[in-house]
Structures are given as structure tokens and as C-alpha cells.
Amino acid sequence: MEKEITINKYINGELTGSALSQFEALLKEDKALAEEVQFHKEVDKTLAIHEEVESNENLKSLLKDLGKTHIQNKPLERVDSSTQTKEAEIIANPEIFPENEPKIKNLNRYAWLAAAAALLLFLFVPNMLKKSNPDLADHHFKLYQLNDTEMGNGNMDQLYKKAKANYADGQFKEANVLFREYDQAKPNVPKVWLAIGSAEFKLNELDAALLSFQKVIEMKDSEVYHPQAYWYLALCYLKKDEAQQAIHQLKKIKEGQDFYSEAKRLLKKLQ
């Protein structure tokens, strides 16, 4: 058992002093062990980077915005001489490029499309009666409930109470200004960020809400709030119509934790 503990501590970079030297000497002797340790380190590093990039909502939101501007909305540019593609050749050869086919062929295509649409309607009308993902998110969303505990000294407590009152009244913008002011003075209170995220959800500022709930998970000693954060993260993704991401968050809620039964029910609807 001790060997396993030492290997794990080494991979985590937690071995120091003579224990580290001894283990490094052992690695030089035992090639199989060295290879195994190297493998685990590589897997850890790879997974950590994957997780880091995939959960970088700021970057993803930037790419999404740039995509909207430069790929989705911008009209298709003519092919210039330096970027001659075969597409340009195809434009001159209507038999390859469908857009330049004679109109009668296009009519044929529309007939096929109409038939396909009719078939799709026939097959999927029952599914169309189901709630969409954003509707499901709204249906399940309940504002995070702040309790009445004292939140710091006199002034701080007042600020918190004012923010909380705005929050309860549905004045989410005003509430968040005050919550953030509170956070400046007393940072990283998980429930404050759960409230900020909830308010952002209500304001439909979903990318900001994702960051707020993610922040709760990253806070030190915030484990007790993780199930709530996962639940709200899932609802944000669902509202953004990103069901896979929502499922991923819901699966993180473990049996016996808050929101477990709700997560289980929602997962059933999504899978």
C-alpha cells in the first residue's frame, strides 16, 4: 500500500527531500515503474489541458462572437487570385457545382426536399410537442434561495441585505451591482456567487452566469456548494441548447447530494 501512495505522491509532485531522491533512484533501476509513472503523468497533463480548454467559457464565447461576425454574417467573398480554390473552377463548370445547374434540375431538387420535409413531419410531429431545451431549462430553474445568516460586520451586512432585497424583488441588475460590491470587500463567498449566477440566468446573460457558477466550483473549500453549482451550470447549458454539456454537468451530482433526484429526472428527459 505504501508503494502506491508514494507513486501517487510523486505523480502529484508532492514528494520532497530524501523521499523524492529515493524514489528517483528507484525509477532509474525499475524501467517498468518509470514507464508507468511517465504514462500516468502524460495522461494527467493531457486530461488537465483538455478540461482547462473545454471549460474556458470566456474563450468559447469570444470564438462564438467572432464566428458570428466573420463566418455567419459576413457575405461570402469572391475568391481572389491568391486563394484560388477548385470552387472557382467549379463555378465555371456547372456540372460539378449544383448552384449553377439548369433551373429544371433545381426544381427536381425542391420536389425531393418537399417529400423529405413531409416525411420528417410525419416522423417527428410527436417529438415536436416535447419542450425545447431552453424551455426545459426555464421550467426547472428556481432562483437560488439566500438564507438570513449574518454576512459580516454592520456595513457589510447592510450591503448584503440590500442586495438580497433587490434579488428577492426581481431587481437583478441592481442586485448584482451590490453583490459584486460585496464581493470586492469580502471575496469568494459561494452563496453570493450562486445568487449572482442565478440573477444572470434571469437576465439571460448565460455566458456570464456560466462563469459565476464555475467560479463557485473553483473556490477553495466550496465543495458543499458544488451540487448546486453543477445543477445551475446544467440549466445554463440547457438554456443555450447545449444538451451534451448539460448532461455532463448533471452527471457530476452524486447520490445523496442536493439536486440529485432533480438531476436524475432531468437526465432521463435528455438522454
Partner 1 sequence: MPHEDKKYINGLLKEEVSIIKEIYKKWGPECKRFVLSNSGNVQDADDLFQECLLTILKHAKLHKIELNVPFGGYLYFIYRNKWIDTLRKRKNEQLRISESTRYTNELTSKALAEETELVNERMLLFYACLYQLSDFCKTLIDGRLKKMSSKQLMNLLKLPTANAVDFRMHKCRKQLKKLIEQHPNFEELFFRSKPKEK
Interface positions with partner 1 (CB under 8 A)? 1, 4-5, 7-9, 11-12, 36, 39-40, 43-54, 56, 58-60, 62-64, 66-72, 74, 76-77, 79, 82-87, 90, 96-97, 217-218, 221, 223, 252, 254
- Nearest alpha carbon to residue 160 among 184, 179, 176: 179
- Work out the number of other CB atoms within 10 angstroms of the CB of residue 178: 19
Among residues 197, 185, 202, which one has the least CA distance to residue 222?
197
Q: How far is the CB of 14 from partner 1 (least distance, A)?
A: 8
**Smallest distance, partner 1 to C-beta of residue 96, A:** 8
CB of 168 to partner 1, least distance (A): 31
Burial 114-124 (b: 16+ CB within 10 A, else e): eeeeeeeeeee
State which residue, 141 or 260, has the beta carbon closest to partner 1: 260
- Closest separation in Å from C-beta 8 to partner 1: 4
> Residue 43 or residue 117: which is nearer to partner 1 going by CB?
43
Closer CB to partner 1, residue 176 or residue 227? 227
| Distance of alpha carbon 66 from the chain centroid | 18
* Number of Cβ atoms within 10 Å of the Cβ of 137: 22
Least separation in angstroms between residue 236's CB and partner 1 is 19
Q: Which is nearer to partner 1, 73 or 155 (CB)?
A: 73
> Which is nearer to partner 1, 41 or 162 (by Cβ)?
41
C-alpha cell at 189: 463567498
- Give the integer Cα–Cα distance in Å for 149 and 158: 12
Residue listed under C-alpha cell 487570385: 81
Alpha-carbon gap, residue 178 to 172, rounded angstroms: 10
